Structure 1
Amino acid sequence: MADRDDVVGYDGPAGGWGSVKGMSKVLAKERNRPAALAQLARQNKPKGFMCTSCAWGKPAEPHPFEFCENGAKATLWDLTPNRCTPEFFAKHSVTELKTWKDFDLEHVGRLTHPLRYDHATDHYIECSWDEAFAAIGAELRAIDPKKAIFYASGRASLETSYLYALFARLYGHNNLPDSSNMCHETTSVALKKTIGAPVGTSILDDFEHCDAMFFFGQNTGSNSPRFLHPLRDAVKRGCKVVTFNPVKEPGLVAFTDPQNPFEMATRSETKISCQYHQVKPGGDVAVMIGLAKHVLAAEDKSWAEHKVHVLDVDFIEQHTTGFAEFEAMVRATDWADIERESGLSRADIEAAGQVYVEADRTIGIYGMGLTQQVNGFDNVATYVNLLLMKGNIGRVGTGMSPVRGHSNVQGQRTVGISEKPELVPMDRLRELFDFEPPMDHGHNTVTACEDLLKGEIDAFLSLGGNFLRAIPDLERIEAAWPSMRLTVQIATKLNRSHLINGKVAYLLPCLVRTEVDKQAGGEQIVTIEDTFSHIHGSIATHEPASEHLKSEVAIVAGIAKATLDPHPKVDWDGWTGDYAKVRKLIEATYPEEFHDFEERMFTPGGFYRGNSARERVWKTESGKAEFTVPRSLSGTDIPDAPGRLRLVTLRSNDQFNTTIYGYDDRFRGISGTRDVVLMNPKEIEKAGLHKGQVVTIVGDSDDGIDRRVAGLKVVPFDLPDGCIAGYYPELNPLVPLNWHDHGSQTPAAKAVPVRIVA
């Protein structure tokens, strides 16, 4: 930690001894046993188990320790010896538990028994699995299926996800919101529209062949630390990394490899970004238009002087449409507008643009800093434009590379968890299971919450996750939640979402991915998909935390069997007994991508399910890759005004999504608290505040709803002018439900309009 003119920050590199210390703290807190520690040696390796943290790729030739700090924390957190038993719930009412912090709730330990919420006593009480399944099934049969929501977090396996989606459609709806709705739905919509494939086109091997990487809104050090190894290797061979992010994230500044004894002993580090530009929140389209403007200027100069193209004109002519309209917009855009909207100088943008001009092969990398904006679609689509200009999609060492979060969040969509029926092979489901699947659009996260506020949702089933902490406008949604008839939570540990209940409520404990899943057909294997569209088998060897736990597959099948009438082509018991039968169903439903599924699932590095855009086959409306024209240079629909600031929500390096491992955010020099607001010293002075002052942040949208979070301590921090930052999910109450991307309805947790009240 450093104190430079009262500005909090971090002087060290990502990785190194800080990473080791971070893992050690979880070890000390969780008192993990040797058997739990032994799991780390198997993590992300062929015929090992696949990490439940991020979705980063699993190399065919893994490192001795193929896990990062957050991956180790996730595994040790899952395998804690602490237990959350019926006796615990007998001692603590749900009303009392609502006052606990997120960390304290999860730190109680693993759930051990199925539980029913008793409204009369305000306690969870133990129940049997048969009782739970029967009661849930009876409730679901009694309501209109269109008024039920089946939510899925990103941890569930391909097998569970396929059956969950099938259950929803056999029941009669497409109400299948999931984690993607809150993070990379923008990617799915924008990439599908522009290049015909809804996921990234790069694979792990591309990072060994690129000349440049451009980062927008992605925090590698905290959210996907295993990425730091290929990133460092690329830089060492001469690849240039250019980063655009409002926050200076250490993982994209420098890295020390914890697995390199020399680097650890000498504390040496590799500088990652050759340029790091702190773009104003919401200024990404402006930056990209500036980069494109520099490329066009370089094209003009190179052709005039040398008759050599900078643009890939053959690729543009053969493979794209819409370039002329985009080019006209770029040429007509004034540099003064670009500088104003981006918060960067023309010279800085042109310097970054020159790196792009000189690179033969470039990968475009981004995260939720790009997708979680009201103009997120334009962010991603304009990024595609930039890559298309030089033919940087469909060649080795190039491509779009969105970095996904939860370990199987992409895979769930692949096997059918989607509210959009046009994205699912309904004809094959109709043939395989002899039923008429629903063809109307279902609810995503935003529309489910909107209907809940109207009193039009009767049931909510959650396959993992912490929905009520992850969503925007969470205080309004929490207040409406008890109006539902039924709430069911499938989980491993206690969290806030389990404490806000419908009139009938069950909490069902499941196995984690490292725990042996023994069914009628023996010990079972599950599969997941990584961010590069590679499929991996995962084998569990750890003993379950309780004999009363069931697998996610068994729980989904148990509820489905109790809800639906028997059907000769629907074999819930057989599928639960042998997950290979589920993989056969996945193969039959998606034969092009999952052929020979069983034989290929332990391919070192995973088997690739393919990507049409990588092959330059464009499954778009035009049959070509599509240049688009952004609707605005700004990433916010509410203009700047005196006293109005743009809020960016962040995750610490001591958390993963809503799971809080502790209160040390060493990459930002903050320890012991999460109740902070980060501001640059100029903004602190302008607001008449001082370091350490306790303030309230108030929402400044135009819908007339009072949104505020109080008790936040002012922390000086290196940020662009006009913006502030604070932690997710604590600041989620400030994000309006209608503040979302126009194209995908992804909640916009970046560039949120707010004001500060002393």
Structure 2
Amino acid sequence: MKPGLPEPHSHTAGGWGSLKEVSTALLHQRVPLTDAKLLLHQNKPDGFACVSCAWAKPAHPHPFEFCENGAKATAWELTGKRCGPDFFAAHTVRELLAWRDFALEDQGRLTTPMRWDAASDRYLPVDWDSAFAEIGRELQALEAKSVVFYSSGRASLEASYMYQLFARLYGNNNLPDSSNMCHESTSVALPKTIGVPIGTVTLDDFEQTDCIFFFGQNVGTNSPRMLHQLQDARKRGIPIVTFNPLHEAGLMNFANPQSPMDMLTPADTSISTQYLRVRAGGDSAAIMGLCKAVLAAGAVDQAFLDEHTHGYAGFAQALQAVSWDEIEHVSGLRRAELEQAAATYMAAERVIGIYGMGLTQHRHGVQNVQMLSNLLLMRGNIGKPGAGICPVRGHSNVQGQRTVGITEKPELAPLDKLKQQYQFEPPREKGLNTVETCEGILDGSVRAFVSLGGNFVRAIPDTARMEAAWPRLRLTVQVSTKLNRSHLVHGEVAYILPCLGRLEIDRQAGGEQSVAVEDSTGCMHGSRGRAEPAGELLRSEPAIIAGLARATLPPNRAVPWDDWVADYSKIRDAIAETYPDIFHDFNQRMWTPGGFRRPVAAAERKWKTPSGKAEFIVPKGLEADPDQLKEGGTVLRLFTIRSDGQFNTTLYNEDDRFRGISGGRKVLLIHPADLHQLGLEAGALVDACGIAADGIPRRVSGLRLVSYDVPAGCVAGYYPECNPLVPLSHHAIDSMVPAAKSVAITLERSAVGPDKGG
């Protein structure tokens, strides 16, 4: 993109561009042809579940049931590159801290257990038994409440179940996970509205729907396999109405790489039939406008409201009271646009509402989700075929690990059942979530951090403050496949424990093992690794968890750690005993094509709420982030985005071809009118400065301004590069999800030179 040229959309998702990107990733990672062929088994009923996103896996898959980012994730894990003792011997931790994120992970797969040596400032190899023994001694010496057990969302159901049991046997519910940073707003909002913590939609509903509404979810980069369902819907003439601050390639046009017509002709599919570029933080107002238009038209499903809902009268009163002027001002949309979208909604009998972190990562993120629920309930669009609410999760098993007990909230875990099964007294005190963990590290009350995957230090808000506090931890343990920044910002005692990836053959005493995961639609799938392990010393996540538990905990005959590691089917039997309603006959059902679905009462119009009905909830205010944002002047709204070459904190490359960005990720997308008002020009280097009420200085320096068609008054910057600007205290009410989609900042001309790093 040339400086100064707004270019909201220049690429079609899919097509030859995706094929080229996949080929480039496989070559760059030195994946041999024999391993590249493993892509044919990705997301297949007898193959392995993708390690990237959690989108549903069909019973009758396409010949190539993977997307561009899924293939990149597979290449990243199957890489021929290795990061072993020789690499660590050549580099101090201080030196590696100056490396870019991409360069760190690009060293390849970790192969050997490593322990940080203070004298040399290097990670040195250590044998597994010694690592487990010292970690166990360190954990035994600490107060249970001072230790945190984090998990990233990629761990299997089996590993997650063992991990939560380990933490509770140790003595706490300190089990934050990556959902604390994204869809915890969903988990809090939906039980209050429809009585379940997950969505109600399955793939079958996409085949029966009349209309799809999309909010704050970039399907082209975050869950591209969903484009198959969206393309099929559009070919049937189904309207898709999109609310998103940026024009995104996947929501505009899609060329299916598996379609000869799409690949051999200029053909592609227009995805969105109406595209409303809502102002960052304006989602509640936009949905309020839709609801107000439905009410004014008298188009509610009164029979459904009378039989199945509670609180509608109060919500209708709020709709009548709110003015269109306020709705337009906060949403950044015109009344006519919203009324047109509402007309599309009212013309359909079966509507699916899809959303992502564009709704959840706000101060009123919980309210945003409840507003979408209100909209769907007004016309009975929950609990019937072809309709429902559909949160799109990120990590491949982040929803599943919550299902088997990874939660800091003791009321959500079956503690009495665990007590009976394993003959111990589970802790009943609330544990720490992600934000509370960070607060505990800052104030010194958290002393140890054990991480099952992930790159926590890079993913969290207030990065600079957190990195400064992190070395005060006594112990940090990272169970990982690749090197990342969280290994380099470490505690006094620090270990890297390399694990098998999901794509690798897991050989245990009982033979080759398989695992299971849950997708975004609540369906459970088996996953069988097919690649040879990256190193002889790698251990599986269940084996590492068992090793840590045996070294840390007193003996307990009721917990058969060794038997579980030898045969994962016994872990699944234990899961089924703990959660019989969900996992009965687990081993027999795990290979069901399309997965077996957990019970979702709301999908059958059974409402597990205190009133026994679906609840309308009146919004407290339309502004998504009232504590942060000041109108006008030099204050801008920052919202974070991700590139097409990225999944969460993992970067597959440092460009963003869909948005035309190259030359590094330290950029801000800004409207030309804002450039003019601020006296800046495209290509200028600026510092972004936080202006939070806590008065703590926050700054990201050396950001290049790119003129772009973002909503006026808003700027977009990449995650996680802009995380230092997100105050730890700026989080969603009730769910405590960091509110990264509306952060108040100002810009200053930068005194530093260009930095192309990530």
Shorter-chain TM-score tier: over 0.9
Q: Does the 8 Å contact 2:525/2:594 carry over to 1?
A: yes
CA distance in 1, matches of 2:129, 2:532: 23
Q: What pairs with 1:49-448 in structure 2 (closer than 5 Å)?
A: 49-299=48-298, 310-448=299-437
The answer to whether 1:449 aligns with 2:448 is no
Q: What is the rounded CA distance, in whole Å, between the counterparts of 2:52 and 2:35 in structure 1?
A: 16
Write the mapping of 1:598-613 to structure 2, written as runs, cut at 5 A: 598-613=587-602
Moved more, 185-194 or 639-648: 639-648
Partner deviation per Cα, 1:641-699 (whole Å, 9 max, x = no partner): 41111001010000100001102211101112101010011111111111110001000
Task: Tell me, in whole angstroms, the C-alpha distance in 2 between the residues paired with 1:11 and 1:146.
Answer: 51
Number of residue equivalences: 747
Partner SS state of residue 726, structure 1: strand
User: SS of 1:225's equivalent?
Assistant: coil
Give me the TM-score of the superposition, normalised by structure 1.
0.98
Separation (CA, whole Å) in 2 of partners of 1:68 and 1:494: 25
In the TM superposition, structure 1's runs of 4+ consecutive aligned residues that sit over 4 Å from their partners are none
Deviation at residue 35 of structure 1 after TM alignment:
2.2
1:480 partnered with 2:466: no
Is 1:664 the equivalent of 2:655?
Answer: yes
Distance 1:5 1:348 in 2: 28
- The alignment partner of 1:280 has SS state of coil
Q: Deviations over 1:293-331 (max 9, x none)?
A: 1101111xxxxxxxxxx2111111111111011000001
**Cα distance in 2, alignment partners of residues 74 and 420 from structure 1:** 31
Cα shift at 1:169: 0.5
The Cα shift of 1:260 comes to 0.6
**2: distance between equivalents of 1:511 and 1:391?**
46
Q: How has the CA–CA distance of structure 1 residues 4 and 504 changed in structure 2, closer, same or farther, with 3 Å as cutoff?
A: closer
| Residues 544-693 of structure 1 aligned to structure 2 (within 5 Å) | 544-637=533-626, 638=628, 639-693=630-684
Cα distance in 1 for residues equivalent to 2:34 and 2:414: 42
Distance 1:12 1:493 in 2: 31
Q: Is the 2:353–2:390 Cα contact (8 Å) retained in structure 1?
A: yes
User: What is the CA distance between 1:12 and its match in structure 2?
Assistant: 2.7
Q: Report the equivalent of 1:698.
A: 689
Q: Distance in 1 between matches of 2:6 and 2:295?
A: 39
Render the CA deviation track for 1:485-543: whole Å, top value 9, x for unaligned.
Answer: 11000000000000011111100000000111111111100000000000000011210
What is aligned with 1:491? 480
SS at match of 2:692: coil
| Residue 40 (structure 1) aligns with | 39
5+ residue gaps, structure 2 = 750-758
The residue identity in structure 1 corresponding to 2:45 is: P
Residue of structure 1 equivalent to 2:524: 535
Partner in structure 2 of residue 738 of structure 1: 729
Output the CA distance in 1 between the equivalents of 2:477 and 2:38. Answer: 30
For 1:7 and 1:21, locate their aligned partners in 2 and report how far apart those are by CA, in whole Å.
26
CA contact (8 A) 2:68 2:224 kept: yes
**CA shift for structure 1 position 75:** 0.3
Opposite residue 693 of structure 1, the aligned amino acid is A
Deviations 1:265-298 (A, max 9, x none): 1021111111001000010010111000110111
| Partners of 1:206 and 1:398 within 8 A in 2 | yes
Report the AA paired with residue 392 of structure 2.
V
Taking the aligned partners of 1:610 and 1:403, their CA distance within structure 2 comes to 18
Contact 1:35 1:542 (8 Å CA) reproduced: no
Distance 1:10 1:102 in 2: 27
Alpha-carbon shift at residue 435 of structure 1 (Å): 0.9
1:8 positional shift: 3.5
Q: Secondary structure at the match of 2:640?
A: strand
- Supply the distance in 2 between the matched residues of 1:12 and 1:135 (Cα, whole angstroms): 52
Partner of 1:307: none
Q: Give me the whole-angstrom Cα distance separating, in 2, the residues matched to 1:615 and 1:530.
A: 19
- In 1, are the aligned partners of 2:212 and 2:353 still within 8 Å (CA)? yes
Contact preservation (8 Å) 1:258, 1:264 = yes
How far apart in 2 are the matches of 1:98 and 1:9?
A: 35
Deviations 1:333-374 (A, max 9, x none): 000000000001000010001001111000000000100001
Q: Distance in 2 between matches of 1:146 and 1:39?
A: 43
SS of 2:281's partner is coil
Using the size of structure 2 for normalisation, the TM-score is 0.98
* Partner secondary structure for residue 150 of structure 1: strand
| Equivalent-residue separation in structure 2 for 1:619 and 1:29 (angstroms) | 50
Q: Secondary structure at the match of 2:104?
A: helix
Shift of 1:5: 6.6
1:750 partner SS: coil
Q: Residues 532, 359 of structure 1: CA spacing in aligned structure 2 closer, same or farther, 3 A cutoff?
A: same
Residue 752 of structure 2 corresponds to none
> SS where residue 169 of structure 1 aligns?
helix
Cα deviation for residue 458 of structure 1 reads 1.0
Structure 2 match to 1:713: 704
Note the C-alpha offset of 1:9: 4.0
* Residue 725 (structure 1) aligned with residue 716 (structure 2): yes
Query: CA RMSD of the aligned region, Å?
Result: 0.9
Deviations 1:193-234 (A, max 9, x none): 111100011011100111111111000000000000010001
Structure 1 equivalent of residue 754 of structure 2: none
Q: What's the secondary structure of 1:326's corresponding residue?
A: helix
Is 1:748 aligned with 2:739? yes
The answer to whether the 8 Å contact 1:8/1:670 transfers is no
Return the offset for 1:4: 10
Query: 2:618 is aligned with what amino acid?
Result: V
Once the two structures are superposed, residues 127-168 of structure 1 have per-residue CA deviations (whole angstroms, 9 ceiling, x without a partner) of 000000000001101111111000000100000000000000
| Aligned partner of residue 53 in structure 1, secondary structure | coil
1:21 Cα deviation from its structure 2 partner: 1.6
Give the SS at the match of 1:468: helix
Cα deviation 1:222-251 (Å, max 9, x = unaligned):
000000001000111121100000011110
CA contact (8 A) 1:46 1:605 kept: yes
Work out whether residues 219 and 251 of structure 1, in 8 Å CA contact, stay in contact via their aligned partners in 2. yes
Find the residue that maps to 1:724 and give its secondary structure: strand
Maintained 8 Å contact 2:8/2:246: no
Q: CA deviation at 1:120?
A: 1.0
